[in-house]
Amino acid sequence: MNPLLESLPPGERDRLGASLQPDWVEPMLATLSRGRSFGQGWIFERKLDGERCLVFRRGDKVRLLSRTRHLLNDTYPELEEALLAQPSRDFVADGEIVAFIGRNTSFSRLQARLGIYDREEARRIGVPVFLCLFDLLYLDGYDLTRLLLRTRKAILAKALSYRDPLRFNPHTDGGWEAFYGNACRNGWEGVVAKRASGPYVHGRSTDWLKLKCVNRQEFIIGGYTEPQGGRTGFGALLLGYHEDEVLLYAGKVGTGFDEQMLLDLAGELARRETGTSPFADRRTRERGEHWVTPDLVCEVAFAEWTPDHRLRQPRFVGMRRDKAAADVVREVPG
């Protein structure tokens, strides 16, 4: 048995499960929250603005998998190399791939690396990426998911060595109001509160709560408008979300795009164009509007929801190649 596991107190060792390394695990997801009173049983981490990644290291092979089980090794070859250099040869870890602008993680900057599956092209782009690890699910023949979160993080901190591009995502105990306030003042996306004694569960859980500094979420692209004036590509995206298994309209977003994104996305939209509206509550078509097959997902920042569930002051952040359209719903804080 790994010395880190052997040194656990008997009560914690009893939670270990001997098993073969899994080929896949469903990641644990946080629930949006407005905030609440947190006691001593919670820890708080920085909410990272990147692409979720599950790491599977088995011997001389590493697999980097997205939430939708896409293999990311060729997109981030430097991360694969750093993980292969680790002395631990049998583990499954959970984390987030990020790029930085200054000291803040930036999903917009990470866009340059998303969707690239050529290792040399990924390197030539010149956008440094980092893998911030925050949980350990499996180590040397044992399933760790039933261990306390605080225990899993303590083992993760010691099981791997951390040099860029690998980083350990630290946490703080208590004082969540001050931690959250500093996060928002420093331009972070937000904070994740996690129950320190919680196991790792597969799927969304209220043991992990995300507290956002700005309103942001994923939306499905159901159409677009034609460009006006000197603009290229398209004018705005028509956005939606699922509710009761139908797609509802959330509004348009026409800002936040650079010229390359306008051109690249216009080509994808043209290939998906259809004559039928995908929105259950928007069947008429205004001049210059086009419908598309609703399988593309993007992330949008906005000021607030209006009373009729439309977005106020939306701004495009980036495409979410790691999110399935079927999973996109309107996030309502609990």
Q: Express each pLDDT in 114-136 by its tens digit.
A: 989 999 999 999 999 999 999 99
What domains lie within the chain, and their CATH numbers?
3-14+26-212 (3.30.470.30), 215-327 (2.40.50.140)
H helix and E strand count, the chain: 8, 22
pLDDT of residue 285: 79
Q: Token pair of 68, please?
A: 């939708």
The pTM score is 0.88
Q: In degrees rounded to 5, what are phi and psi of residue 15?
A: -85, -10
Contact 174, 193 (CB under 8 A): no
pLDDT of residue 16: 97
Q: Residue 226: name the closest of 214, 238, 243 by CA.
A: 238
Measure the CA dihedral 240/243/244/248, to 10°. -40
Contact 274, 247 (CB under 8 A): no
pLDDT in tens, 285-331: 788 999 999 999 999 999 999 999 999 999 999 999 889 999 999 99
pLDDT of residue 214: 87
210 is catalytic: no
Q: Which segments in the chain show pLDDT lower than 50?
A: none
